[in-house]
Chain A
Amino acid sequence: MGVELHTIHSEIYSEAAQFLAQFPNEKRSVGFWRARFDLWWDENAAFSEEYDRGWILRNRDHIVGFMGNIPLEIQFNHSPKKVFSSTTWRVLPEYRKHSMKLMFKFMGNAEDTVLFNTTPNREVRAVLRAFKFELIPAYSRSVTVITINSPRAYQEKLQRLPRFLRPCLAPFQAFTKVLDIDLPRPELQVRSIEHAGEDFDQLWVKTKSVYANTNIRNSRWINWYCNQDNAFQKKLYGCYREEELAGFCITWNPKGNEIRCLDIWSHPEDRLAISALVTKMIQEAQECRATRLFIPHFSRSLEQHLIEKDFGEIRPRERNDFFKMAKSLDWTSDRDSSYFTTAQGDVGL
Chain B
Amino acid sequence: MTTVMTNDEEKILSFLITNFQLEASQVDVTTPLFDSGVLDSMGFVELVDFIEREYSVTFSDDELQPEGFGSVSEICKRIASHSG
Which residues of chain A have a CB within 8 Å of any CB of chain B?
Answer: 2-3, 96-101, 103-104, 107-108, 110-111, 123-124, 126-127, 129-132, 324, 327
A100, B41: Cβ atoms closer than 8 Å: yes
Given A96-B40, A130-B45; A107-B64 close (CB under 8 Å): yes
Checking A100, A127, A324 against B34 with a beta-carbon cut-off of 8 angstroms, the contacting residue is: A100
Chain A residues with Cβ under 8 A from B79's Cβ?
none
Given A104-B34, A130-B48; A110-B40 close (CB under 8 Å): no
Q: Does B3 contact A (CB under 8 A)?
A: no
A132, B61: Cβ atoms closer than 8 Å: yes
Checking B41, B49, B58, B65 against A107 with a beta-carbon cut-off of 8 angstroms, the contacting residue is: B65
B40, A99: Cβ atoms closer than 8 Å: yes
How far is A108 from B38 in the complex, measured between Cα atoms in Å?
Answer: 21
B64, A127: Cβ atoms closer than 8 Å: no
Which residues of chain B have a CB within 8 Å of any CB of chain A?
Answer: 34-35, 37-45, 48-49, 58, 60-62, 64-66
> Closest CB of chain A to B8's CB: distance in Å?
19
Checking B37, B41, B58 against A103 with a beta-carbon cut-off of 8 angstroms, the contacting residue is: B41
A126, B42: Cβ atoms closer than 8 Å: yes
A97, B40: Cβ atoms closer than 8 Å: yes
> Closest CB of chain A to B26's CB: distance in Å?
12
Chain A residues with Cβ under 8 A from B48's Cβ?
130
Chain A residues with Cβ under 8 A from B41's Cβ?
96, 99-100, 103, 123-124, 126-127
Given A130-B49, A327-B60; A100-B44 close (CB under 8 Å): yes
User: Chain A CB within 10 Å — which of B35, B40, B61, B64 has the most?
Assistant: B61
Q: From DSSP, what is the main secondary structure of chain B's interface residues? A: loop
B44, A97: Cβ atoms closer than 8 Å: no
Chain B residues with Cβ under 8 A from A111's Cβ?
62
How far is A98 from B64 in the complex, measured between Cα atoms in Å?
Answer: 15
Query: A122's closest neighbor in chain B, by CB?
Result: B42
A130, B44: Cβ atoms closer than 8 Å: yes
List 25 A–B pairs whose Cβ atoms lie within 8 Å, in order of A's numbering.
A96-B40, A96-B41, A97-B37, A97-B38, A99-B41, A100-B39, A100-B41, A101-B34, A101-B35, A103-B41, A107-B64, A107-B65, A110-B61, A124-B41, A126-B45, A127-B44, A127-B45, A130-B64, A131-B61, A131-B64, A132-B58, A132-B60, A132-B61, A324-B61, A327-B60
User: Chain A CB within 10 Å — which of B37, B41, B66 has the most?
Assistant: B41
Assuming A130-B49, A327-B60, what are 19 further A-B pairs, CB within 8 angstroms?
A: A96-B40, A96-B41, A97-B37, A97-B40, A97-B43, A100-B39, A100-B40, A100-B44, A101-B35, A104-B34, A104-B66, A108-B65, A110-B61, A110-B62, A123-B41, A126-B41, A126-B45, A127-B42, A127-B44
Pairs A-B, 9 closest by C-beta atoms? A97-B37, A96-B40, A130-B48, A126-B45, A97-B40, A130-B45, A99-B41, A100-B34, A127-B41
Chain A residues with Cβ under 8 A from B58's Cβ?
132
B60, A104: Cβ atoms closer than 8 Å: no
> Closest CB of chain B to A115's CB: distance in Å?
9
B34, A98: Cβ atoms closer than 8 Å: yes
